[in-house]
Amino acid sequence: MDVDRLEQHRLWKHPTATDVAVVQHEIGALGTQLQLAFDARDWLNARLILNTLHDRILRAMTYADLEATKAVA
């Protein structure tokens, strides 16, 4: 495995408290950027923001699942 793949694995499967906080912050910030893009009718930028937001939401869901699994175990 190369370094980037190892880091991606760590980021998704073994997040630090900082990783979780950063993702939560990014989701809020991206929501604000998305609203501004919609207001400006900047559809291309809105679509790009949605792509990034989708990634961050998936990561946040993964983090929630990891915590739920720990709570049950």
Residue 54 burial (CB count, 10 A): 11
Q: Residue 45 contacts by C-beta under 8 Å, 6 or more apart in sequence?
A: 37
Residue-wise pLDDT for 3-59, tens only, equals: 899 999 988 999 999 999 999 999 999 999 999 999 999 999 999 999 999 999 999
For residue 14, the SS3 value is: coil
Token pair of 30, please?
């991206």
Residue-wise pLDDT for 27-42, tens only, equals: 999 999 999 999 999 9
